[in-house]
Structure 1
Amino acid sequence: MKSFISVALFAGIIALTTAEDYACHDNVTFGCSTGNPVICHSLYAGIQNVESGIQSYINLNMHKSYQYLSMSTFYNSYQKNRPGFTKLYKEMSDRSFDDAIELIRHVTRRGGQVDFRAMSQHPNSVANSKLSLDEDELHSLGTALDVEKILADGATRLHLEATHGRPHDPQTAHFVEEKFLGRQAESIRKLSGYVNDLSKIMNNRDPSLGVYLFDQYLEKQKAPASQSKARIDWDVLNCC
């Protein structure tokens, strides 16, 4: 009986192997050669269905990174002199830039490609931005809150494409959920709190002292763990 089961299992494995597509195995001698169609690649599941969505989200993060950097630079001038707002927007700029790099790594790891030329042609490119820096601290926080919601919506759309596409791509959906969605929810919650707190201060007859103390509070906030580690690694490299 045992021998019969073993033979049956072996026959099933052989049949399954025959039915599967072993394109790379069958064409490995020329499948990766120059001038021939690439067969031995890392594409699988539905990554090709979400590749354009990832490209758009990379463009969006790059644009928002430069937007936050402009805001940080504005508050770092001697006229404004708001080190807390400078620090807040610089950290958010670094985060968006790092997110774009992570997305580039993800899509290339899965066998896709990134068109860097599309970044300057994107509707949300820096060249097409209508960002106004001539506004007070409260309105700048309102802008930052809007930006975070735009980024969260972009991640949600990408997660939807990865989950419901045919074929769907669960690895990309997991990557987006783990990397972006939870952290962006926390960022939106934090900024909405900042907006409401500073709004109460700005409604006073003379809010200058309150705004100064609020800026001092922002300056004392700790950077996210990932950014703190990045600074430590950079310091180690500099010292060596």
Structure 2
Amino acid sequence: MSKTFRNILAVFIAILPINLIMIWYRLTQTENFSTSDMIVYPLVFGGGSCILILLLNKYLVRNSFKETFNSGKGTWYQDVLIGLGITVIYFILFFIERATLYQWIPNHNPPNTELLDTIRDMATNPLLLVIWFIPVLWIGVALFEELSRVFLLKCLWNINENSYWHITVIFLTSILIGATHIYQGTAGALSIGLKSVIVCFYFYKYRRLLPLVISHALYDGIQFAFLILHFQN
């Protein structure tokens, strides 16, 4: 089995199915997720996908964890600092996009009541808060999405060493990731896609996974924490 075929097969097994299912389900969804769904599904599908990706990376792609996810130079504390820096960039973009992109492309979809219901439930239940802010946020959301992003990048980069191909892959990956968030509206999908381009280029240059996971978890977590405090007050 050739290297190219192994990498393409890995993408078809670990990345495309779950992303296409997410896009299809969100576009055809008629019922909101319950709070338990919002906690269990990320842990089961996100956590399970992380395990699948790691197994495919080792046994199908035949790369070590370091080769695929952490081949760049650096230390854990540098990764933490860079993760904090990317988080700041995310929030700068957040406020710029609210003043521009979200004004130019208003979202006519109904409010995301499932998210609001989950936040209300967490605001009054400390156990739900702990479960969501530790395993769900860090494993089921941040680790899953960043591991998937990097695995897709690396598998496609492994097909061809040409730098133009690598840059093309960055944009293709970001389009796919933006599309999986289309339920947030066109502006939301574009916003997610733009942030993906930024972190993909970061990984292209520095090849370190941890800053991506940290920034993703902090960006989502801070927004959730703000909303929870709002409902508690």
Which TM-score applies when normalising by structure 2? Answer: 0.31
Identify, as 1 or 2, the structure richer in helix: 2
Larger Rg: 1
